[in-house]
Structure 1
């Protein structure tokens, strides 16, 4: 059977060059032209060329998540990127070289063809890049706008989702039968996420809302001790091959302790930051109940409800799912330590179990606790460990 063909359209922009930058990418079915995946991200201060390369990489990884054996036609309005990736122009700038190498590593070279198109034919990727930059200006990350019809979502051969905006649809549709983990034929080496919640901050023992929209507190003395204990336990296991962290200080400090013990570098991923709790940041549950009773009731009743000025759990799930898919594509068959927060860990566990959104309120997750989820090539996932705090005793 002939391999599937995808069209990747990618773009990036910088308002200042260098300045606030973002990228956008779409993946189209090569036969119908229908968009089957979108990706966009605000990447902070960067040049146009860096943003364009980041868009290319995101588009290629989105296509790889759908079908790693596909053939790809890349269409971009950046003459520089097209000529460099086609091998006709040398890559002299040191910022471009590692990005080009990363892009070449997604698919074998003989399966990707690059072509230049005028800007007016690259409107979808350009739109997404501008949406990402607008989101960054507003202090948030880009989120998908619309949920596609279920028929627009192709069946993925791996545990990765084909489009982040399809998460809500997938959660509402009947799921295919799931084989018990370990009972199927040999599917090769599973991809393993070791999930470490960060150590305590001054807000943790007071049980205050502490998300990505608040003061970004550092670890307390106890939190630093917890981070070192977790790092020692992980080093004793000796299986972690990469470390990825939320950008928030408490997670980065915890990740750095582990990475130092493991001899690894820390990679930052915006997708696994904590939920933004908006006006509730820094408040206790009792204070929220007193000051925002109606909003709290709505939040407890629906994953789509958000705190005033904040982020809903449904939006968090879309963001975390996209991050999961990118990481699975990048670290296929490897063991990765993800240092993150309560909601992202619970969300990854919930999605692995196929549990409903309200299950988030029914899990206990202690500071510096470890959980483990494994992902298999047939699309199944297995929860191996939840809220282990043995290393803290």
Structure 2
């Protein structure tokens, strides 16, 4: 696509529904999470839904002004707007139809995705909507205030109190959603450290990989905390997930966003072979999250967007539960990085062994906590 990546958070409200209404929207840089644009307006007498749609339109227009080629991930706490704009729900109300049609004309459909988020994670847009309604009550229109620093979009700053040890949450933060992140077991390519992404041969687990999956299954059965199993659609992850799920008496649900990065022409090659055949592309890839492997359609930046969307879908679906997420090196490292608010180049400073376990907890206030990293004790 070639453009930047933005996250648009939008909201609208009506005091009376219908009643005095306003909207708010923020545009965040998709890599840093910093707010790069804000929009809000008092729109007079309207319903909540009308205000929400107008907030969406304003957010999309603000993103377009910054970069008309940008990939935009819209995040709203309005299930109605997200489902209608995603095409899963019909738009029957006559007031909504022209607003949805206008929203679709702002940017090409291929550039925009929609994700539902809890209201607690849409605080900035909600704040702006209320500021706009307050201004309208005073007979004025909203005016932007002095800019202030914003927390990273994927996970705000850590909670002041450190969570207790283990996978249980402090009571005052409520029950978290826990992702137990399991890397798949070994394949024939793993010991040779060959690039094995989503565009390669899709190898099966080796004999050792199947043993590792069985040991992981035993460990999770002993802990007894897993409530759902989700896997990348690739063969090695599904085989690992199925070994655990069968032991736990659970089904496996696949999530496309959890697949490994597409390594293009590097698939099946060792690092040394890539260095020999594609030295310039490799150097660029190691120095920039926006660079792509030779012949690939994906960079770490686009992977981050894909994994972030998958993460938010799972958080909405499994709120308050402990979920085993079986995936690959790059997606798991990305989830860890986002939880920590670490920069993209931190991906090169993490080690993830085959069949290793990480754990991240997500709280209702938007905070995240890394609880475990590269644990292989179940394999010893």
Q: TM-score, normalised to structure 2's length?
A: 0.66
Give the 3 Å change call, closer, same or farther, for CA 144–215 of structure 1 in structure 2: farther
Name 1:201's counterpart in structure 2. Answer: 187
Deviation digits for residues 286-319 of structure 1, max 9, x if unmatched?
Answer: 0000001111111111111111221111111111
Name 1:54's counterpart in structure 2. Answer: none
Give the 3 Å change call, closer, same or farther, for CA 380–286 of structure 1 in structure 2: same
How many angstroms apart in 1 are the aligned matches of 2:59 and 2:119?
11
Question: How do 1:87-166 residues align onto structure 2 when only pairs under 5 Å count?
Answer: 123=104, 128=109, 131=110, 157-158=120-121
Instruction: Measure how far apart 1:30 and its partner are.
Output: 3.6
- Asked whether 1:283 is paired with 2:269, we answer yes
Name 2:76's counterpart in structure 1. Answer: 63
**Which stretches of structure 1, 4 residues or longer, exceed 2 Å deviation after superposition?**
1-6, 27-37, 71-83, 113-128, 158-162, 169-185
Secondary structure of the structure 1 residue equivalent to 2:311: helix
Q: Which of 215, 220, 224 is residue 201 of structure 2 equivalent to?
A: 215
Instruction: Measure how far apart 1:377 and its partner are.
Output: 1.4
Name 2:10's counterpart in structure 1. Answer: none
Name 2:27's counterpart in structure 1. Answer: none
- Asked whether 1:192 is paired with 2:178, we answer yes
Deviation digits for residues 39-67 of structure 1, max 9, x if unmatched?
Answer: xxxxxxxxxxxxxxxxxxx99xx534xx6
Q: Which of 270, 279, 284 is residue 256 of structure 2 equivalent to?
A: 270
How many angstroms apart in 1 are the aligned matches of 2:231 and 2:83?
30
- Listed as ranges, the gaps of 5+ residues in structure 2 are 1-12, 16-20, 24-49, 61-72, 126-149, 165-169
Deviation digits for residues 268-287 of structure 1, max 9, x if unmatched?
Answer: 10001001111100000000
How many angstroms apart in 2 are the aligned matches of 1:160 and 1:196?
32
- Listed as ranges, the gaps of 5+ residues in structure 1 are 7-26, 38-57, 87-112, 132-142, 146-153, 163-168
Give the 3 Å change call, closer, same or farther, for CA 5–392 of structure 1 in structure 2: farther
How many angstroms apart in 1 are the aligned matches of 2:123 and 2:348?
25
Query: Which entry has the higher C-alpha Rg, 1 or 2?
Result: 2
Cα RMSD after superposing both structures:
4.1
Name 1:366's counterpart in structure 2. Answer: 353
Secondary structure of the structure 1 residue equivalent to 2:358: strand
